[in-house]
Amino acid sequence: MKQIILYIFLIGLISCSNNSQEKKAVDKETENKQETKTTLTESKLDYREILLSENKLDSFSIPFPEKNMLIPLRNYYKPYWVEANIGQQDGPDFTYIDILKDDDNPIANLYFDSENKYKLDEIRIMNSTAIDQYGIHIGDPLTKIISSRDTGQIVFEPYHFHIYYSYKNSNILYELEGELHTPAVDNVKDIILTYDDIGSHTVQSIIWRNK
């Protein structure tokens, strides 16, 4: 009798073990399907290339009409994140809108006047996902700007050592970065940069300003 009971117990134990292994296999298969579905969903996201022109940001005329543009921008740029924020400076606070590929990957900032939160002052492109109408991306060399747009003007902001390359009668200019060996002068405001000083610089940001 004891042998029969032991035999039944062993059969039950083996059956439970097999069921457990089958459940684990099913769970793993379900998990793999979910991961595949998530990957496929992400791959289908349409992160369109953002185009900045002299008078347009993609299909939006710039400067924008003086009204709240957050919802139209958010709807247009899906699946990008489009968020409104408050910025601080030496003067009054100002409104700006971020366009991001995710919560820590900014593509562009749209800055508004501190006295009129609906008046667009500046657009700043910071990621190679975007391009301007002249075919310039972030990271492109100064030589490409010149070959695409001809010779421009060097603008040096001495207090923060910002270097810009701009064009007369154009809303689009470029902030440059690179190694800079400044000449010896008594006052930094007296520094005059030439092409030889910045010839190896690259584009750090593409800027549109409301002239």
pLDDT in tens, 105-139: 899 999 999 999 999 999 999 999 999 999 999 99
pLDDT computed for residue 154 by the predictor: 97
Tokens of 27: 């769970």
Inform me whether the pLDDT recorded for 171 exceeds 50. yes
pLDDT computed for residue 12 by the predictor: 52
Q: Same domain for 140 and 210? A: yes
Q: Among candidates 112, 142, 141, 140, which has minimal Cα distance to 124?
A: 112
* Total tally of structural domains belonging to the chain: 3
The domain boundary residue, chosen from 98, 132, 166: 132
pLDDT computed for residue 36 by the predictor: 45
The domain boundary residue, chosen from 66, 98, 132: 132
More confident residue, 160 or 68: 68
C-alpha distances out from residue 73 to 68, 86, 100, 181, 205, Å: 10, 17, 12, 42, 21
By the 8 A CB rule, do 190 and 184 touch?
A: no
Q: Same domain for 84 and 99? A: yes
How many Å apart are CA 26 and CA 19, to the nearest integer? Answer: 10
Q: Same domain for 155 and 172? A: yes
Q: Same domain for 20 and 31? A: yes
Domain holding 112, by residue range, is 46-132
Q: Same domain for 59 and 88? A: yes
pLDDT computed for residue 129 by the predictor: 92
Residue 193: is it exposed, middle or buried by C-beta count within 10 angstroms (0-12/13-18/19+)?
middle
